[in-house]
Homo-oligomer: A and B are copies of this chain.
Amino acid sequence: MIKPSRRSRGSITVQDVAREAGVSAMTVSRVVNGGTNVREATREAVLAAIAKLNYSPNSAARSLAAGEATQIGLLYSNPSAAYLSQFLIGALAAARRAGCHLVLEACEGERPEEQAEATRGFVQTHVQGVILPPPLSEVGAVRDELDAAGIPWVSVAMGLPPEGSLNVRIDDFAAAAAMTSHLIDMGHRRIGFIRGNPNQTSSAERYRGFCAAIEEAGLDLAAMPVEQGYFTFRSGIVACEALLDLPERPTAIFASNDDMAAAAVGVAHRRGLHVPQDLSVVGFDDTSLATTMWPELTTVRQPIAAMAEAALSMLLDELRPRGQNAQAEQVLAHQLIVRESCAPPPRR
């Protein structure tokens, strides 16, 4: 007497689908993945059976059988929370599709030794690849450690990634230039710029974009006041104070990220300047801060979730033994988001 398998989970498996469609389990598997070398009629029968039974493949079994990568590391330091949450949403979506797990690790310290230490945590836990969102994508200690362990990595949102490395980014240069042109088109002729942290290449790229747009418009770059910031709210306060202390005040401020832009708006308000009537302020990144302030911020949106997804796919392609990977670099489209924080300069 055959007793029903005591361990059956009652869920729909390939076998069930195969029986329903009158084919073998292997054929079902082929249809579900890629589906090479399956006759059209057969595929349709299988798809119909899948739909009928509401089958969804068991990802644990799949990655076990296929021997795929199952643990991908994500090393984060302290980007803005808004950035991180978007990033995680994208990465999680891609991870689930691929059936792999995301292993998070915080990298708190600033010192190379601490960073290397956090990285070694990954090596211990057998992650097969690592995603490096900013600003860690720029940290040599981390990359060296991963290279030494032979673990592939993808950098995300670097301004100027090293040749041949896996990376996903936007065109910081073009985005900053577009934003600058937007201000110029509005009539601003004296635009203050707050630079980002010099240890990140995107800072330089954004500044280059700013300069290029100024010069292209035939304006005098030397007349544009520039302050150094470090991407933090606090540094934005200092930089903005300096800009507004100038005898000839800028009519607009372009901060290299939203946090610093928010700081600039705060400083302006405390000085009794109205934004945007007296001073226009624009940022970069379109984090949630941009809409939880008043006035809401004109800024550049990065497709953060899409970038995370792209990074993970790229990494998995790299890890897949079969064939060579198509591309090692992806530049996604950015978008200029116009809100209420900028307006034509005040008439004088």
Contacts and interface: CB of A to CB of B under 8 A. Distances in A.
A15 interface: no
Contacts of A124: 54
A309 B302 CA distance: 30
Contact of A96 (B80, B96, B101): B101
Contact of A294 (B67, B266, B272): B266
Given A269-B270, A289-B289, A237 B294 contact: yes
Interface residues of A, number: 52
Contact of A293 (B80, B125, B126, B233): B233
Given A89-B104, A102-B96, A70 B81 contact: no
5 contacts: A58-B64, A60-B99, A82-B82, A88-B88, A89-B106
Which 6 pairs across A and B sit closest by C-beta, in order of nearness? A85-B85, A81-B82, A81-B288, A84-B85, A233-B292, A60-B64
Interface of A: 7, 9, 11, 54, 56, 58-61, 63-64, 67, 70-71, 80-82, 84-86, 88-89, 92-93, 95-96, 99, 101-104, 106, 124-126, 233-234, 237, 259, 262-263, 266, 269-270, 272, 287-289, 291-294
